[in-house]
Amino acid sequence: MKILVPCKRVSDPDNANKVKVQGDAVVAEGLEWKPNPFDDWAVEAALRLTENAAKNERVGEVVVLSIGPADAAQQIRQFLAMGAERGVLIAGDDAQLDSWVVARAMKAVVDKEQPDLVVMGKQSADAESGAVGPILAELLGWPMATQVQTIATEDGGKTFTIGREIDGGLIRLKVSAPAVVTVSDRIVRPDAVKNGVTPADHSYPESDSGRYASLKGIMQAKKKPIEQLQLSDLGVEPTLTGSYTDFAKPPERTGQTTFVESVEELVQKLHTEAKVI
């Protein structure tokens, strides 16, 4: 099975409150670039689908794709160190990208690579749009499953049984490959991914992120290939469908925190001061 995992680098999502705005630009100076955490989960899901975890053996191929400046190769390397086989980096500047440009570029790579599955995060932690997966699926004429929390296959990857999160519950789907899958954080739960190769009773460790790279993995990643491409190589015009203005920080919460001493004081304040109960 061959899986393409598109990944984005984002400014450190654990310090998103330190992002600044200047008119029509968002400035993340001083913040480290990190792989989008949603994509970290996607890489983990893709690795689980293409391995025999009991024997620590790879049985498929994971290709990591990113669109960004040259140093976005660092984030691709991190995923190669986790176990992905190779990378593709399309040169691009965030300001010249939107969901449409990205989806078109990905489609061109999919046409070339012919993966069985595209697995990606359900959204980026910065723009939070979540549109690329569905637009890509539509451009490819492929079925899609978004916000996926469980995925299982028993026929080598021709069909997938999928659980996707919906408001208030879960929808179960049966999807034929090739398909686009966007994952939620729950895809890294111990029993979220079953591929019919890893023994069914194998359970991954509890974690809220993808696997850590081993030292060996980090060494190997240095030798793994990352193909460099330009949008023009793929015949994609960087035509934006929209633009942002008036960036601003959300209104600060006014007032100080009042530390109350007792339940009685809390209830009294909520009743008479805040007037919310």
The answer to whether 63 and 85 are in contact (CB under 8 A) is: yes
The set of residues, in sequence order, having a beta carbon less than 8 Å from that of 156 and lying 6+ positions away, is 1, 196
For another protein (CB under 8 A), the number of binding residues is 84
Long-range contacts of range 110-113, CB-CB < 8 Å, 24 or more positions apart? 110/4, 110/136, 110/140, 113/2, 113/4, 113/63, 113/88
Q: Rounded distance, CA 6 to CA 236, Å?
A: 17
Q: Based on the shown chain and the rule CB under 8 A, indicate whether residue 240 belongs to the binding site for another protein.
A: yes
The region of 14-22, 49-57, 67-75, 194-202 touching another protein under the rule CB under 8 A is 14-22
Q: Rounded distance, CA 33 to CA 163, Å?
A: 31
Q: Contact with another protein (CB under 8 A): which of 19, 67, 105, 118?
A: 19
Element (H, E) at 40: helix 37-49
Residue 80 CB, shortest distance to another protein, in Å, is 25
Find the binding residues for another protein in span 22-51 (CB under 8 A).
26, 38
Q: Rounded distance, CA 203 to CA 54, Å?
A: 10
Find the binding residues for another protein in span 77-136 (CB under 8 A).
98-100, 103, 125-131, 133-136
Q: Contact with another protein (CB under 8 A): which of 66, 147, 153, 198?
A: 147
The answer to whether 161 and 152 are in contact (CB under 8 A) is: yes
Nearer to another protein, 89 or 110 (CB): 110
Q: Based on the shown chain and the rule CB under 8 A, indicate whether residue 187 belongs to the binding site for another protein.
A: no
Q: Based on the shown chain and the rule CB under 8 A, indicate whether residue 259 belongs to the binding site for another protein.
A: yes
Q: Based on the shown chain and the rule CB under 8 A, indicate whether residue 235 belongs to the binding site for another protein.
A: no
Q: Based on the shown chain and the rule CB under 8 A, indicate whether residue 21 belongs to the binding site for another protein.
A: yes
Q: What is the DSSP string of 121-156?
A: ESS-TTT----HHHHHHHHHT--EEEEEEEEE-SSS
Q: Based on the shown chain and the rule CB under 8 A, indicate whether residue 189 belongs to the binding site for another protein.
A: yes
Q: Based on the shown chain and the rule CB under 8 A, indicate whether residue 143 belongs to the binding site for another protein.
A: yes
Q: Based on the shown chain and the rule CB under 8 A, indicate whether residue 258 belongs to the binding site for another protein.
A: yes
Backbone angles phi, psi at 236, to 5 degrees: -105, 125
Q: Contact with another protein (CB under 8 A): which of 2, 186, 202, 224?
A: 186
Q: Based on the shown chain and the rule CB under 8 A, indicate whether residue 205 belongs to the binding site for another protein.
A: no
